[in-house]
Structure 1
Amino acid sequence: MNFLDELEWRGLVKDVTNREALTKRLETPISLYCGFDPTADSLHVGHLQQLILLKRYQMQGHHPIALIGGATGMIGDPRPTTERSMLTDADLQQNIAGIGAQITRILTSDNNPVKIVNNRDWLGSMNALDFLRDYGKYFSVATMLAKDTIAKRLSTGISYTEFSYTILQAIDYLHLFQKEGVQLQIGGSDQWGNLVSGTELIRKIEGHEAETYGVTSHLIMKADGTKFGKSEGQNIWLDPSRTDAYAFYQYFINTSDEDVIDFTKRLSFKSVDEIKAIEAEFLAAPHQRLAQKELAKELTIIVFGEEGLAMAERMTQALFSGNVQDLSVDELKSAFADSNAIDVTADATIVDLLVDTKILPSKREARQLVSDGAIRVNGAVVNDVAFVVTKADAIGQEITVIRRGKKTYHLINHVL
């Protein structure tokens, strides 16, 4: 199985320009690039497939370039429905710095580091006449109108700004071909039209002997139809200040059985044989969630390092065992980010607290559960109905964790 065949097995090949020639070309090192729009100051897990794909090439000895769209990011690749919001220059620079640091960290290499370029360096000084004279003449409006991203917007309207995006991206490929020797562009399947525009522009300007390629990969889709990369409607970011290692780890731990092998093929660096072995063991005992654990562990190390994985596993174990007293206030807030903390303004007996906060509907039920040992306070069983929950005994003198039964947690925030 050659490199391109393995990528196809992993679900990472959809469309290829001249596959036979590319297969031969990949036998020796090639320079390739993938573009990232700086629409936020962090990438999210939806970008992981392309980042990891760049690293796969890097590990094969090929030379990766990450292009950050400092110019095209001001315009935006056309969305299916609406125009993108324009970014200020200050926001754009902040976003470029943020995602550049993430790309560098994930594609770290001692002898073959990723090169990061910003297309504003060559597009920023281009004037309108140069754009139209030197490049616009090579693009057929009929061909551009036929592209999916454009055709889908014709009924609702699309500005010339977004309509011109594909030309700018083609210029990027031409520039990198001429200045960096880039011969391959990769991207998601939604980028096929832009990739082809680039290879065609190079051929028209540099001649038919110019050897360039484009490869797209299938977009990751969940089996239930929900969007990959979101949890409770929120993005899972690669920036620890936005999404910490625990939340990231839990996102992949909670991958559905229907999705986990597909995600593992696409995102894991494990070999084909290793993945087949994991799949066999997982299918034999899916309740043990081996595939989810292996995927969550590997990706957390890639994005957050060994230290991030250690923190995520420690928090997971603490919550599983109920030993929440081992966690810090910040870790508890992260662990219960999707839960509403209940504010209390005074110390109270456990029975009064359970009823006053509406955790339980009546003092009779509260006394019964406490007497039965079904209530834990900060990890410890409380079976004394006169036990007083105090701010002084709270974790960090700020938070008390009430656990009811095996899995139901309530966060008490002491605001005395």
Structure 2
Amino acid sequence: KCITVNYMMAKDSVKKRFNGEGDGMSFTEFTYQLVQGYDFLHLYQTMNCKIQLGGADQWGNITTGTELIRRKLGPEAEAFAITCPLITKADGTKFGKTESGNVWLDARYTSPYKFYQFWLNVSDEDAKRYIKIFTLLDRETIEALIAEHEAAPHLRVLQKRLAEEVTTMIHSREEYEKALEASNILFGSSTSEALRRLDEQTLLQVFEGVPQFRIARSELGTLPFIELCAGRTNIFPSKGECRKMVQGGGVSLNKEKVTDPMRIVTEEELIAGKYLLVQRGKKNYYLVIAE
């Protein structure tokens, strides 16, 4: 009753669609501004929410909310709309909840590790934009970071600082440090202790995509390492190749160098009670699951 059809028709976003931009407008799309407006009114009344932020494409919907609040609660009920140019990902798509490859603020949907990785892996151009939008760093700091990044892009100074600032802001300094440590396990010279500190969910996320093998838990305690790698699994194509690489110092179990190919693998070595991490060379990882 508070919002007229005339008011809704006057919105630029509606007029453009009625004037032939796109494929017309469904009734659902037309009335969406009422739903979003009522949502703002509800948040205003129940949560004392006075400002709604969004992309520039949401201007019409958000101002319907400010108008509804004013008409329903009187002119003294102040509510505000702030929009910014729509922020897109490198592929040109927006950060919509229906898009793939999205990041959520809620750790249940995007873990702190994956959240950190998202910002760490953005392109150089996106990093230059995002650090201005998503962090509270001052202009001088940002300009200095961009200059430092341009002098040595391979160091990814900008992405590292962006990931640090945003992860700390959303999840805490502690979660940022955990995410950093988890990243170092895969890409750096991390320790066995750091690996054991990972919770199971993060461990599986860090090693998502690496080859996985399953062995019987009952074999642990009698199973030689060489048999694990070239008998029960095909981490190595042959025992001879496994032995040779162990002797050359190129094989690790749970981030600890293996010096004897005949050493027995025990149940006590399982990470999170069920995983063994074998590393062959610098970059080849294999996850063995004991069942």
Which TM-score tier does this pair reach, normalised by the shorter chain? 0.7 to 0.9
Is residue 309 from structure 1 mapped to residue 180 from structure 2 by the alignment?
A: no
Alpha-carbon displacement from aligned partner over 1:300-346 (angstroms, at most 9, x marks no partner)? 11111122123223333344214234323524234224445421113
Residues 1:174 and 1:332: Cα distance change in structure 2 (over 3 Å): closer
Q: Larger relative CO (CA 8 A, sep 6+): 1 or 2?
A: 1
Q: Which residue does 2:118 correspond to in 1?
A: 251
Q: What is the CA–CA distance in structure 2 between the aligned matches of 1:387 and 1:194, rounded to whole Å?
A: 67
Q: Which residue does 2:7 correspond to in 1?
A: 139
Is residue 371 from structure 1 mapped to residue 247 from structure 2 by the alignment?
A: yes
Aligned counterpart in structure 2 of residue 349 of structure 1, from 224, 233, 239: 224
Alpha-carbon displacement from aligned partner over 1:3-62 (angstroms, at most 9, x marks no partner)? xxxxxxxxxxxxxxxxxxxxxxxxxxxxxxxxxxxxxxxxxxxxxxxxxxxxxxxxxxxx
Q: What is the CA–CA distance in structure 1 between the aligned matches of 2:137 and 2:65, rounded to whole Å?
A: 33
TM superposition shift of 1:287: 1.8
Letter in 2 for 1:259: D
Q: What is the CA–CA distance in structure 2 between the aligned matches of 1:410 and 1:275, rounded to whole Å?
A: 39
Letter in 2 for 1:402: V
Is residue 324 from structure 1 mapped to residue 192 from structure 2 by the alignment?
A: yes
Residues 1:229 and 1:318: Cα distance change in structure 2 (over 3 Å): farther
SS at match of 1:235: coil
SS at match of 2:110: coil
Question: What is the TM-score normalised by the length of structure 1?
Answer: 0.56
**Residue 226 of structure 2 contacts residue 242 of structure 2 at CA under 8 Å; is this kept in 1?**
yes
Task: Give 1:147-296 correspondences, 5 Å limit.
Answer: 147-148=16-17, 152=22, 154=24, 158=26, 160-170=27-37, 182=50, 185-198=52-65, 214-225=81-92, 233-296=100-163
TM superposition shift of 1:272: 0.9
**Residue 135 of structure 2 contacts residue 165 of structure 2 at CA under 8 Å; is this kept in 1?**
yes
SS at match of 2:203: helix
**Residue 324 of structure 1 contacts residue 401 of structure 1 at CA under 8 Å; is this kept in 2?**
no
Q: What is the CA–CA distance in structure 2 between the aligned matches of 1:204 and 1:237, rounded to whole Å?
A: 34
Residues 1:392 and 1:165: Cα distance change in structure 2 (over 3 Å): same
TM superposition shift of 1:389: 2.6
Aligned counterpart in structure 2 of residue 335 of structure 1, from 206, 209, 214: 206
Q: What is the CA–CA distance in structure 2 between the aligned matches of 1:229 and 1:354, rounded to whole Å?
A: 44
Alpha-carbon displacement from aligned partner over 1:345-384 (angstroms, at most 9, x marks no partner)? 1343333322342223333332322222211111111132
TM superposition shift of 1:273: 1.0
Q: What is the CA–CA distance in structure 2 between the aligned matches of 1:142 and 1:289, rounded to whole Å?
A: 47
Q: What is the CA–CA distance in structure 1 between the aligned matches of 2:118 and 2:5, rounded to whole Å?
A: 47
Question: How many residue pairs end up in the alignment?
Answer: 277
Task: Give 1:122-137 correspondences, 5 Å limit.
Answer: 131=1, 134-137=2-5
Q: Which residue does 2:260 correspond to in 1?
A: 384
Letter in 1 for 2:88: M
Residues 1:401 and 1:217: Cα distance change in structure 2 (over 3 Å): same
**Residue 185 of structure 1 contacts residue 195 of structure 1 at CA under 8 Å; is this kept in 2?**
yes
TM superposition shift of 1:228: 5.2
Q: What is the CA–CA distance in structure 2 between the aligned matches of 1:227 and 1:382, rounded to whole Å?
A: 47
